[in-house]
Amino acid sequence: MKTAILGFGVVGSGAFEVLEKAGYEVKRVLDIRPHDELGDKLTANYDDILNDKEISVVAEAIGGLEPAHTFVVKALKAGKHVVSSNKHLICTYYEELHALALENGVTLRFTSSAGGGIPWLYNLKRSVRCDDIYKVMGIMNGTTNFILDAMISDGRDFDDVLSEAQRLGYAEANPSADIDGLDTARKTAISSSIAFNTIIKEENVDIFSLRFIKKADIDYITSKLNKTVRYLGFGVKSEGGASVFVEPALLDSDALESNVRKNNNMISLFGRDVGRLSFFGQGAGKYPTGNALAQDVIDILSGSTELSFAPEAINVDNATLERAYYVRTKADVSYDFFDTVEVIDGSKYITTKKITVSKMHAVAKEIRSLDADAFFAGIEG
C-alpha cells in the first residue's frame, strides 16, 4: 500500500515530509508546478496515480472545489482510500463523497480540514461511536484569534492589528473568509455534521462577522461586563433540532478559551458520558496541518477502518436555541428583549435578555441596515 499526494503546496509538502521521515513511501505527487526535489515522483497527469495499482491512498491537498472534487470522486470510484485537508470540498460534497466511499468499500478521512494540527475531527468521530455528543464549540480560525488577542493585550484597534497580521502572513490579502466567518462556518458545519450524524451545509450557519469590532467594544466588554471575547463556531443539539452559528462570544476570564493566545485553536465536544473534552493546538501551518493529513494516511495504512455513515435528517434551525447578546450600535432602535442599555460617545452598548439565535440574527440585519458599523456578540454562561 503506497500513497500519492495531490497538490504540493504548504500542506501537501508538509505531509510529504512527515510521511517520508516516518518511513511511509509517497510514490507520486501531483502538481503542475515544477519541483525538482521530487524527481520522478512528480507528475502533472492524474492518470499516473489513478492507474497505479500500488497506490491505495490518495491524499488531496489542492484546496478549492475543482479539480479537487473530480479527482477525489475518481479516486473513490477506483477503489482508493481518500484523505483530504480541504474544508471547502468536504463541506460542499460530504454526503456524495461519503456515499461513494461506502459504495466502493474505501475510507474517506479529513481530520486536517478543521483545526489544522489538532486531531479534532478524528477524535470527534471516535467519540460519536459510543456517546451522545450534544454540543461542539471552538476557536477554529487562527487569524481572528490573533487579531482579538492582540486587540485585548495591546489595546490596539481592529484595522491596525489586521494590517500586522497580513504583514506577518497570518491573514490573507483578502481577509474576508477569516474575519467574516466563512472559514469558521465551514469547519463548524463539518464538525456539527459529524457530531450529530447528519448533513449540515455552510448555508445553514448564521454568522456574525468579526470585522465590526472596535477598541471601544473591547474596553466596554472588559471593564463593564468583566468578560473577554473570542470568535467561536457553535453546534448545539436540543430537543427541537440543532443550532449552528458563528459569533464573537463574550466569555468569563477563567474560561479555557480565554487563555488561548495568538493564532492557536481550541475546539471542544460535550458528550453525555464523557463530559467536556477540549483539544488545543496550532490551527494552521505546514508541519502541523501536514502532520494531521499524514496521521489520517497512516491510520489507513495501519488498517483502521472507517465506521459506516448513515446520516439522519435533523431539524437544523437556529430558533431551537436561546442565548443573551451584546450589541453596540448608533442606530436609534429599541426592542423589548433589550436588557441593559448604556450610551457612551453617541453609541448604545446593549446587553439583551435570552432570545433565539435566529431572531437575533434577523434583528441584526435590521440594525445593520441602519448602522453599517454595528457589532454583535453572543454572551456565554
Q: Which residues bind a copy of itself (CB under 8 A)?
A: 14, 18-19, 21-22, 24, 117-119, 123, 126-127, 129-131, 254-256, 258-261, 266, 268, 271-282, 285, 287-288, 290-292, 294-295, 298-299, 302-305, 307
Write the Ramachandran bin of 167: left for phi over 0, alpha for psi from -120 to 50, otherwise beta: alpha
- Min dist. Cβ of residue 379 to a copy of itself (A): 18
The C-alpha atoms of residue 204 and residue 265 are separated, in whole angstroms, by: 23
Specify the residue, 53 or 129, whose C-beta has the smaller distance to a copy of itself.
129
Strand partners, 83: 59, 109
- Alpha helices per DSSP H over the chain: 10-21, 47-50, 68-77, 87-103, 120-128, 142-154, 158-168, 176-179, 182-195, 215-219, 286-301, 357-370
- Min dist. Cβ of residue 202 to a copy of itself (A): 27
Burial 68-81 (b: 16+ CB within 10 A, else e): bbebbebbbebebb
Does 74 qualify as catalytic in the annotation? no
Whether residue 104 contacts residue 77, with contact meaning beta carbons closer than 8 Å, is answered with yes
Specify the residue, 19 or 179, whose C-beta has the smaller distance to a copy of itself.
19
- Min dist. Cβ of residue 305 to a copy of itself (A): 5
Name the packing angle between helices 286-301 and 10-21 (round to 10°).
Answer: 50
Specify the residue, 173 or 307, whose C-beta has the smaller distance to a copy of itself.
307
- Min dist. Cβ of residue 138 to a copy of itself (A): 12
User: Residue 256's CB: how many other CB atoms inside 10 A?
Assistant: 13
Specify the residue, 70 or 226, whose C-beta has the smaller distance to a copy of itself.
226
The C-alpha atoms of residue 284 and residue 309 are separated, in whole angstroms, by: 28
Whether residue 29 contacts residue 38, with contact meaning beta carbons closer than 8 Å, is answered with yes
- Min dist. Cβ of residue 254 to a copy of itself (A): 5
Specify the residue, 231 or 280, whose C-beta has the smaller distance to a copy of itself.
280
Which residue in the list 41, 187, 227, 348 is annotated as catalytic? 187
Residues annotated catalytic, as ranges: 187
